[in-house]
Structure 1
Amino acid sequence: MSDRTSAPSSLGPDWVPGGDGLYFRRGARVLLLDDADRLLLVRGHDVDQPERTWWFTVGGGIEAGESDVAAALRELAEETGIALAPADLVGPVLTRSAVFDFFRQSCRQDEVFFLARLHGTHGGEQGLSRAGWTDVEHEVVDEMRWWSLDALREVQIEVFPAGLPELVEPLLGGWDGVVRSLGEARE
């Protein structure tokens, strides 16, 4: 087992030991919709469990001194090549605390989710860029894909957060201004 006083290099320097004994960081995620109400998701795996894959939203850690909005925009640009302005984000519309195992470590990430919508042609999967990916993302991210909510309901592998189509559906017509807390989820 690794020394719990500093984050292992495989997780990255933004992961720090939390009061509960788990590696911790804050994260910002983006529920990105296109004009056809399709949601952009990423499919990945853990290097320790390559047979287990799951779909999840675009996003990642909030850096020291960075606002939630700035982190969401940076992560979106790094992971997809899509650059949006702060005014393009709505919310946060959801919050949650996710507990999961990654790189042989138990981790907790407290997350805020923003809503954004692309208008016009987004270029499909071919218009998405991996140029800003970290080494870890190149190692564990398998693909990016736009999903209709109906198709996403039929997916046979895990989708995070759980119940994502039902969480996004009420947002299709716009956000009502209420930040919904999903509480803590074990993934």
Structure 2
Amino acid sequence: MSTGLPGEPTRRTVARVLPVSSEGRVLLLLGCDPAVPDVKYWFTIGGAADDGESLAVAGVRELREETGIAVDPSALGEPFGTFEVGFSWNGRAYVNDSTLFAVALEETPVSFDGLDHLESQSIFEARWWTPEELDDDGRAADPRLIDHMRAAIAHVRGGVQ
């Protein structure tokens, strides 16, 4: 999905998954850009869809690879939002067209065994957060993350916050 032009960002179609516990906490990952390892931030689980892969299938694949948690694609249901974000990662520019999914999931241990080599050097921790706790922490990857968390919680609760 690269533009193929030098200096142009690589555009990707991405599935992001926000697991939501019955206590209203969302599972996030703590990581960094490998090119800037001293700056750590919290972000949602997910990544680019492979060619021919549906967004739901991409989302559950990324959830399994990044956390060891396996769910059926049907558990994601309908997406609850979309957004576009431009960023740099490992010295390369990207633009992600992201689709957000929420899944009800009890707080469970996470495994990083499915991470590839570069991911294992850039993802350090997983934690269940309330939007208020993350807002107080101040290390969200994107200022929209708090709103995305609130929307995911409302989505799994059938629209009730």
TM-score interval, smaller chain: 0.7 to 0.9
Q: Show the counterpart of 1:40.
A: 27
Is the 2:12–2:95 Cα contact (8 Å) retained in structure 1?
Answer: yes
Q: Show the counterpart of 1:77.
A: 64
Q: Deviations over 1:22-55 (max 9, x none)?
A: 1222111101111111110011111221121111
What pairs up with 1:24-173 in 2 under 5 angstroms?
24-119=11-106, 122-123=107-108, 127-157=109-139, 159-173=140-154
Output the CA distance in 2 between the equivalents of 1:177 and 1:39.
16
Q: Assess, with a 3 A threshold, how the Cα gap between structure 1 residues 26 and 170 changes in structure 2: closer, same or farther.
A: closer
Is the 1:92–1:112 Cα contact (8 Å) retained in structure 2?
Answer: yes
Q: Assess, with a 3 A threshold, how the Cα gap between structure 1 residues 110 and 173 changes in structure 2: closer, same or farther.
A: closer
C-alpha displacement at 1:61, in angstroms? 1.1
Is the 1:91–1:177 Cα contact (8 Å) retained in structure 2?
Answer: no
Output the CA distance in 2 between the equivalents of 1:69 and 1:160.
23
What value does the CA root-mean-square deviation take over the aligned residues? Answer: 2.3
C-alpha displacement at 1:135, in angstroms? 1.2
Output the CA distance in 1 between the equivalents of 2:60 and 2:98.
14
TM-score (structure 1 length as normaliser): 0.76
C-alpha displacement at 1:58, in angstroms? 0.4
Could you say what secondary structure the match of 1:100 adopts?
strand
Q: Deviations over 1:130-161 (max 9, x none)?
A: 1111112111112111112221110132x134
Is the 2:80–2:155 Cα contact (8 Å) retained in structure 1?
Answer: no
Output the CA distance in 1 between the equivalents of 2:97 and 2:52.
16
Could you say what secondary structure the match of 2:143 adopts?
coil
Q: Assess, with a 3 A threshold, how the Cα gap between structure 1 residues 18 and 156 changes in structure 2: closer, same or farther.
A: same
Letter of the 1:133 partner, please give it. L
Q: Deviations over 1:110-149 (max 9, x none)?
A: 1111010114xx43xxx21111111121111121111122
Is the 2:35–2:90 Cα contact (8 Å) retained in structure 1?
Answer: yes
Segments of 5+ residues of structure 1 without an aligned counterpart are 1-14, 179-187
Is the 1:90–1:175 Cα contact (8 Å) retained in structure 2?
Answer: no
Is the 1:32–1:116 Cα contact (8 Å) retained in structure 2?
Answer: yes
C-alpha displacement at 1:165, in angstroms? 2.4
Q: Assess, with a 3 A threshold, how the Cα gap between structure 1 residues 173 and 21 changes in structure 2: closer, same or farther.
A: closer
